[in-house]
């Protein structure tokens, strides 16, 4: 374990000890904390080979979540691979905020749109917590939608989420009207993608990262076009990037949205916009 930790640290892996422990726990099929109750266990050759292979992949800066094949999001284990963005802790805050909005709605059967669903993390969390919600989820990537459908099936909500392949809103069924729009859209400015951490730059799909020259492409789309698909008084809850708070807020205000809140992430950086359709 010590050698694995040092090897990962030399290759620039943050939280090297934690990642080494998680990979070993995966190999041994036990909770990480149980490792400390088995500290004197000798690995078999098969287990050692498996661990070495995983450590080698992680040292090449492949995301830990890809190596394990899963990530935990709001208490749910979700499949992730190269076809989808690995959900970030900030997006858990978005999920919780969206659920808070839904909990305060008077409607008996809220209709929700998850725009740019990726792994399906937001749609699946909402569907599991609100059995009466009608959830629709879109993505431009069919491989991403395949992962999202498997995650919905994993948590028993496949029949309650309608997935749509769409680049934008125009191809949604015209009769749909939503009470809540939730989205973690691509928001990295194109020129900044090359400077991202290798785990992101080389392994997350660029279509899930690239927000156009200024990172605001999809915020412009949603601010302008989403109202036609929303019920009066509907709410949008969105995640945005570092330094984008003022620009995103201005875009939505320019299209007549009422800004309800701009909320920080755990580091205190503005990260979420909550707005109401006028």
What are the residue boundaries of the structural domains of the chain, listed by start?
2-60, 71-276
CATH number of 71-276: 3.40.50.150
Q: Tell me the two tokens of residue 202.
A: 């080389």
How many Cβ atoms from other residues are within 10 Å of residue 224's Cβ? 14
Contact 223, 252 (CB under 8 A): yes
Q: Tell me the two tokens of residue 4.
A: 């694995």
Q: What dihedral do alpha carbons 54, 55, 59, 61 form, nearest 10°?
A: 30
Q: Is the pLDDT of residue 142 over 90?
A: yes
pLDDT at res. 265: 96
d(CA 170, CA 212): 19
Which band of pLDDT confidence, cut at 50, 70 and 90, is reported for residue 278? Answer: confident
How many Cβ atoms from other residues are within 10 Å of residue 75's Cβ? 8
Q: Is the pLDDT of residue 154 over 90?
A: yes
Contacts for 2 with CB less than 8 Å, ≥ 6 apart: none
Contact 39, 25 (CB under 8 A): no
pLDDT at res. 2: 82
Contact 249, 272 (CB under 8 A): no
Q: Is the pLDDT of residue 43 over 90?
A: no
d(CA 70, CA 86): 9
Q: Is the pLDDT of residue 42 over 90?
A: no
Q: Tell me the two tokens of residue 243.
A: 């330094």
d(CA 83, CA 39): 36
Which band of pLDDT confidence, cut at 50, 70 and 90, is reported for residue 106? Answer: low
Contact 209, 190 (CB under 8 A): no
Instruction: Name the burial class of residue 263, with classes exposed (0-12), middle (13-18) and buried (19+) by CB atoms within 10 angstroms of its CB.
Output: middle
């Amino acid at each position: 374990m010590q050698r694995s930790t040092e090897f990962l640290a030399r290759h620039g892996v943050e939280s090297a000890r934690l990642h080494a422990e998680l990979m070993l726990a995966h190999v041994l099929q036990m909770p990480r904390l149980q490792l400390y109750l088995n500290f004197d266990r000798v690995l078999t050759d098969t287990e050692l080979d498996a661990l070495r292979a995983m450590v080698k992949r992680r040292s090449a800066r492949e995301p830990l979540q890809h190596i394990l094949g899963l990530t935990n999001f709001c208490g749910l284990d979700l499949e992730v691979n190269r076809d989808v963005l690995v959900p970030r802790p900030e997006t858990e805050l978005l999920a919780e905020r969206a659920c808070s909005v839904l909990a305060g709605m008077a409607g008996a059967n809220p209709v929700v749109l998850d725009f740019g669903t990726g792994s399906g993390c937001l749609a699946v969390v909402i569907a599991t917590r609100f059995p009466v919600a009608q959830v629709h989820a879109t993505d431009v990537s069919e491989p991403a939608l395949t992962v999202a459908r498997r995650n919905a099936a994993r948590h028993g909500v496949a029949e309650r989420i309608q997935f749509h392949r769409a680049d934008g809103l125009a191809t949604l069924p015209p009769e749909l009207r939503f009470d809540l729009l939730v989205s973690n859209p691509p928001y990295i400015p194109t020129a900044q993608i090359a400077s991202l951490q290798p785990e992101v730059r080389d392994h997350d799909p660029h279509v899930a990262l690239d927000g156009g020259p200024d990172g605001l492409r999809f915020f412009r789309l949603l601010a302008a076009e989403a109202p036609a698909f929303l019920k009066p008084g509907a709410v949008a809850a969105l995640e945005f990037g570092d330094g984008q708070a003022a620009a995103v807020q201005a875009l939505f205000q320019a299209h007549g949205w009422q800004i309800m809140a701009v909320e920080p992430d755990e580091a205190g950086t503005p990260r979420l916009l909550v707005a109401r359709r006028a």
